[in-house]
Amino acid sequence: MARSTAAFGGWSREELISRIVQLEKTSTTKRVEASDDARSTNAFDASAYPRRKIALKFTYHGAHYSGLEYQVLPSSLPTVEGVLFDALVRHRLIDPLGGLQGCGWEKCGRTDKGVSAAAQVVSLWVRSALGERKQQREVTEENVTEENLSPEAESSQQSPADDQLEGDLAMMGDWDEPPTNAALEKPAETTSEIPYVSKINRALPPTIRILAWSPVSDDFSARFSCRWRHYKYFFHPRGLDISAMQDAALRLIGEHDFRNLCRVDASKQLTSFNRRILSASIDPVEEDPNLYVLNLRGTAFLYNQVRHIMAVLFLVGTRLEQPSVIAALLNPDADNPRAPSREGEPQPPVVSCKPFYEMADPFPLVLWDTGYDEDAVSWQVDHKADAEVTPSTHPNSSDNVHDTMQAFLERSEIHTALDAHFLRAAAKYHRPSPQYFPIRGEGVAPVQKNSVLAVPLGGGRTYRRGGEYTPLLLRERNLPVEEINSRWRLGKGAKRLERKAASVTEAE
């Protein structure tokens, strides 16, 4: 700063400005090169970090998503897996280039659009803070810090033009030197793992919350290691015979062929539809005595199985069907007929193909719980106990899953109160439709000829049937499963194989 400026005494104003512009261009070029170098160097390299396999337990509100499963084609709403994957990528817990397959992604159970979960589980490989990290880069001639340069090397890098400058202008040649990126020191070893729960939740919308995580073995599978799944379907009992529904639900317990109580997914090419139901019951909801819930626990479930079961239970509850219809729908094999479910009942008819009927609404359905062996998982959170959660340990209120869920509940209760008042306002001017269900129920009007029946589908939805009701076993039937599978193989399946073969040929 004390250098003489006499050397510039003979420079004209234009010459000084020209020199400043030249230096600014050089400085800008250095900044751009440095920025590009920083971006390439700081790109996330998943292979440079230790990894571990974990399981994540999480909840989501299905009304906001196009189902759990990631979809290649655009959908009207995001998928839960897509949003969760993006959150993991944002915090550099997985390699975005590898996709779901690259991190060994497996899910416990698939849920469709509108269906929720309180204990969904996925297993995958993620970045870990435990273990040694690979050395990032070696020092090269192009990648050195200013501290590593000797005085001779530093002076040799000085521009010849800079030697002609003195005073403040001479210092301009040192402005905006590109940031260096020498080999980083190995980070200190740590015994603390990444706070997976709070970290991932920060990148998720409040309609998806990570509840806990667990370290798992390398061969753990969220799908195949699961011992049972527990589904709940909530419904209003208005117009329903709860005791008849309970009778029908009990007939589901055991191992049965459920091909008539599911949707056949031909792309899976299933030939066996046997599934084991461990427990089934219709119970009052503890938190709301005005509601009931189907509790259904089984080892595994077929596509849309719970919604089909609930649709038939609604028909039983309205007394349009008898509880024994369950036994008939579970009797598809004439060569191996099932016995009556109750003593004194006749032999159930064989129903080899599924009758046409509409399945129940997805909104009230939730995957409530999932079961694993005790030694397979050890669920944990970022804080050992609620007592440890203080403003200092939990500065971000969005990290507190309980507070988020409580806020949702309070808002839902306000919605319920508002809807109740809207109904009261409408009741001053409009009368309800005649109530025909349950048929022959006390205080229920008899079904008149040409009456329109509003058959419940759950979630406040109904489908309206005019004229005489057609029993399930007298309705038109779907194609046999074998024919459905065969048609898919010859149609969509064949086209899919052609596309795969073409893509393999192009890759070669």
The H or E element spanning position 136 is none
For 179, other C-beta atoms within 10 Å of its C-beta total: 12
How far apart are alpha carbons 6 and 165 in whole angstroms?
Answer: 10
Taking only the tens place, the pLDDT of each residue in 243-269 is 999 999 999 999 999 999 999 999 999
How far apart are alpha carbons 100 and 405 in whole angstroms?
Answer: 28
For 243, other C-beta atoms within 10 Å of its C-beta total: 11
Q: Which of 112, 162, 257, 369 is catalytic?
A: 112
Strands 228-235 and 254-257 come out as unpaired
What does the pLDDT read at residue 31? 52
∠ CA(411), CA(413), CA(417), 5° rounding? 115
What does the pLDDT read at residue 137? 39
How far apart are alpha carbons 367 and 307 in whole angstroms?
Answer: 12
For helices 242-250 and 305-317, give the axis angle rounded to 10 degrees. Answer: 140
If 0-12 CB within 10 Å is exposed, 13-18 middle and 19+ buried, where does residue 111 land? buried
If 0-12 CB within 10 Å is exposed, 13-18 middle and 19+ buried, where does residue 124 land? buried
What does the pLDDT read at residue 176? 39
Low-confidence ranges of the chain (pLDDT < 70): 1-9, 24-43, 132-191, 384-399, 467, 504-508
Beta bridge partners of 229: 298, 370
- Amino acid (1-letter code) at residue 356: F
DSSP 193-219: PP-HHHHHHHTS-TTEEEEEEEE--TT
Strands 365-371 and 116-127 come out as parallel
What does the pLDDT read at residue 12? 72
Taking only the tens place, the pLDDT of each residue in 298-332 is 999 999 999 999 999 999 999 999 999 999 999 99
How far apart are alpha carbons 176 and 179 in whole angstroms?
Answer: 8
What does the pLDDT read at residue 131? 78
- Residue 34 makes CB contacts below 8 A (sequence gap 6+) with 178, 179
**What is the DSSP secondary structure assignment for residue 394, as one 8-state letter?**
-
DSSP 264-322: --GGGT----EEEEEEEEEEEETTEEEEEEEEEEES---TTHHHHHHHHHHHHHTTSS-
Give CATH for domain 48-129+193-224+401-432: 3.30.70.580
How far apart are alpha carbons 479 and 432 in whole angstroms?
Answer: 40
What does the pLDDT read at residue 444? 78
What does the pLDDT read at residue 168? 41
Q: Could you tell me the CA-to-CA distances from 355 to 274, 326, 358, 404 in Å, in that order? A: 18, 12, 10, 43
Q: Which residue has the tokens 């416990």?
A: 108
Q: Torsion-angle region of residue 316: left (phi > 0), alpha (psi -120 to 50) or beta?
A: alpha
For 309, other C-beta atoms within 10 Å of its C-beta total: 27
What does the pLDDT read at residue 105? 97
What does the pLDDT read at residue 22? 74
Number of H helices, E strands in the chain: 12, 11
3-class state of residue 370 by DSSP: strand
Is 112 among the catalytic positions? yes
Q: Where are the domains of the chain?
A: 48-129+193-224+401-432
What does the pLDDT read at residue 15? 73
| Token duo for residue 168 | 């403040």
What does the pLDDT read at residue 407? 92
Task: Return the C-alpha torsion angle 436, 359, 275, 479, nearest 10.
Answer: 110
How far apart are alpha carbons 363 and 376 in whole angstroms?
Answer: 32
| Token duo for residue 369 | 């719980």
Contact call for residues 237 and 292 (beta carbons, < 8 A): yes
What does the pLDDT read at residue 506? 67
Beta bridge partners of 455: 463
How far apart are alpha carbons 455 and 449 in whole angstroms?
Answer: 16
Contact call for residues 87 and 200 (beta carbons, < 8 A): yes
| Token duo for residue 215 | 């370290």
**What is the DSSP secondary structure assignment for residue 92, as one 8-state letter?**
T
Contact call for residues 297 and 275 (beta carbons, < 8 A): no
